[in-house]
Amino acid sequence: MKRYSLVVLVLSLASAFVFFLGRAMLELGPTAIDLRAPVAAHLAESGVTHPVTAVLLNYRGYDTLLEIAVLLLALLAILAVVGEAPASPTRAAHPVLQALGRLAVPLMVVVAVYLLWAGAFRPGGAFQAGAVLAAAAVLLHLVGLLPGWSKPRLGLRFGLAAGFALFLAVAAGLLTQGSLLQYPPAAAGVLILLIESGLTVSLALILAGLFLLLSREAEA
């Protein structure tokens, strides 16, 4: 009875929170600043043709740089908490599930490559591509084809930090022009593609690591 009352209380509080949050969002007034016109006016100089990618990797690239740093720090914090220990053996799933996993993962890799390439001119980019690759790694783990991480070895550590390091190196190189991440218009497209390629690999490893390190603890 006590547990039932606690569930009712939590559901009531959650419902009230959703109600007031929805009401507040419906009562929001128009934005004080409309940035669509300035973004569109300088889109040709950004190196890409999709406004979201232009904002994330060009106009406000330092925000994205810090977001990558936060994700990397989150993984390092998990490593500091759980420590290094041998990974427990994976439990093999049904052969049918393993076969489906082997079929799905190559398709997910193709989707990730497409999302990375498409990010310059339509919705997509490094975050979406990295999330799909991470999901592929999680899928392989769930069907028993990929063990949980015991500890990141040198190559894996390099992959985890490579995207952030590449982003930081480009930012440092552009400081010689007096501004942080202000790309030369002629090289903006190439630099953004280079950064997003590195970020795709690192984001995939970071997101997959957040699951694979914790799954090691759950399976122990």
Cα distance between the two ends of the chain = 33
Q: Is a pLDDT exceeding 60 seen at residue 218?
A: no
Residues 141-162 have a mean pLDDT of: 83
In this structure, is residue 41 part of a structural domain?
A: yes
Total structural domains within the chain: 1
In this structure, is residue 128 part of a structural domain?
A: yes
Residue type, 15: S
pLDDT at 131: 95
Residue scoring higher pLDDT (26 or 201): 201
In this structure, is residue 81 part of a structural domain?
A: yes
> Each residue of 34-82: pLDDT tens digit?
777 888 888 888 888 888 888 888 888 888 888 999 999 988 888 887 7
C-alpha gyration radius of the chain: 21
In this structure, is residue 170 part of a structural domain?
A: yes
Q: Which residues contact 216 (CB under 8 A, 6 or more apart)?
A: 82, 85, 87, 88, 148, 149, 150
Residue type, 6: L
Burial of residue 121 (number of CB atoms within 10 Å: 0-12, 13-18, 19+): exposed
Among the residue ranges 15-19, 67-71, 85-89, the one predicted with the least confidence is 85-89
Distance of alpha carbon 189 from the chain centroid:
21
In this structure, is residue 5 part of a structural domain?
A: no
Q: How far is CA 219 from CA 55, 79, 84, 147, 150, in A?
A: 41, 16, 15, 10, 12
Task: Report how far residue 201's alpha carbon sits from residue 198's, in angstroms, rounded to the nearest whole number.
Answer: 6
Q: What is the largest CA-CA distance in the chain?
A: 69
Q: How far is CA 189 from CA 3, 47, 123, in A?
A: 57, 4, 16
Task: Report how far residue 220's alpha carbon sits from residue 218's, in angstroms, rounded to the nearest whole number.
Answer: 6
In this structure, is residue 55 part of a structural domain?
A: yes
In this structure, is residue 11 part of a structural domain?
A: no
Nearest Cα to 45, choosing from 31, 59, 60? 59
Q: Is a pLDDT exceeding 90 seen at residue 107?
A: yes
Given a contact cutoff of 8 angstroms between Cβ atoms, the answer to whether 211 and 140 are in contact is no
Domain of 167 in residue numbering reads as 31-219
Distance of alpha carbon 69 from the chain centroid:
11
Task: Report how far residue 111's alpha carbon sits from residue 202's, in angstroms, rounded to the nearest whole number.
Answer: 17
In this structure, is residue 18 part of a structural domain?
A: no
User: What pTM did the predictor assign?
Assistant: 0.77
Task: Report how far residue 110's alpha carbon sits from residue 58's, in angstroms, rounded to the nearest whole number.
Answer: 26
> Each residue of 161-178: pLDDT tens digit?
999 999 999 988 888 777
